């Protein structure tokens, strides 16, 4: 089995150790980090989602798969982030209130950092009030919200409303993403941008801040 197959299988089976070793081996062999991510790691999480949908996997299996994914991502991170000397701007990222999915958001953080921005990671289950407070207290240029559940997506709209009510909506650009989120939804709620993936989110920040 090649390294990418081992990584793919390892994530699905939740074997963090095997994933860690195979990612290291793949990098040592010269396989580019984005290729490992796009051709093995992300497809594995998609398959985990499919297994969950057909009731072959339950929450515990999703959790250990997520742990294996995160172990692999930690090995990959230094390769994905090429640290810039002077940060080009500050981006605060969080998964919205009620939502605990953080792998996509973490990946977005890595790619935005890699594009030369400072990232404040607010974590998961981030309330509209917390986003507002961050804009008020820290000099952020962009707020990024992630949601993986159709039931938590409305908290993106609620956060934008809260920013308006606090009078700080114009101080920041707001970008959104996550599996159920669309450009149409972004337009509807008045977000400044949407991206379907992490690399696109980094490009979006560059465009919005005019620092491409």
- Interacting residues toward ligand B1M by CB under 6 A: 42, 45-46, 48-49, 52-53, 59, 62-63, 66, 98-105, 107-108, 144-146, 148-150, 175-180, 195, 197-198, 201
* Packed helices 59-80 and 16-28: angle between N→C axes, nearest 10 degrees: 20
Query: Dihedral through CA 178, CA 111, CA 105, CA 205, nearest 10?
Result: -60
Residues in the chain: 212
User: Which candidate, 106, 138, 99, 140, places its Cα nearest to that of 121?
Assistant: 106
We find the least distance from the C-beta atom of residue 112 to ligand B1M, in angstroms, to be: 9
CB-nearer residue toward ligand B1M: 126 or 198 = 198
CB-nearer residue toward ligand B1M: 18 or 104 = 104
CB-nearer residue toward ligand B1M: 85 or 161 = 161
Distance (Å, rounded) from C-alpha 207 to C-alpha 203? 6
We find the least distance from the C-beta atom of residue 122 to ligand B1M, in angstroms, to be: 11
CB-nearer residue toward ligand B1M: 25 or 149 = 149
Three-state DSSP class for residue 101: coil
We find the least distance from the C-beta atom of residue 38 to ligand B1M, in angstroms, to be: 9
């Amino acid at each position: 089995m090649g390294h990418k197959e081992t990584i793919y299988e390892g994530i699905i089976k939740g074997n963090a150790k095997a994933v860690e070793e195979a990612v290291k081996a793949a990098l040592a062999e010269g396989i580019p980090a984005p290729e490992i991510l796009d051709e093995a790691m992300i497809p594995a999480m998609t398959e985990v989602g499919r297994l969950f949908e057909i009731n072959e996997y339950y929450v515990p299996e999703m959790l250990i798969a997520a742990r294996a994914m995160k172990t692999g991502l930690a090995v990959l991170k230094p390769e994905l982030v090429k640290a810039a000397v002077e940060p080009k701007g500050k981006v605060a990222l969080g998964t919205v209130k009620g939502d605990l999915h953080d792998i996509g958001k973490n990946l977005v953080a890595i790619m935005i950092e890699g594009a030369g921005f400072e990232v404040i990671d607010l974590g998961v289950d981030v309330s509209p009030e917390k986003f507002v407070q961050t804009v008020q207290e820290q000099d952020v240029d962009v707020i990024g919200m992630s949601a993986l559940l159709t039931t938590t997506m409305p908290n993106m709209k609620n956060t934008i409303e809260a920013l308006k009510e606090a009078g700080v909506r114009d101080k920041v650009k707001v970008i959104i993403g996550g599996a159920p989120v669309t450009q149409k939804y972004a337009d509807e709620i008045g977000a400044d941008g949407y991206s379907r993936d992490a690399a696109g989110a980094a490009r979006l920040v560059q465009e919005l801040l005019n620092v491409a």
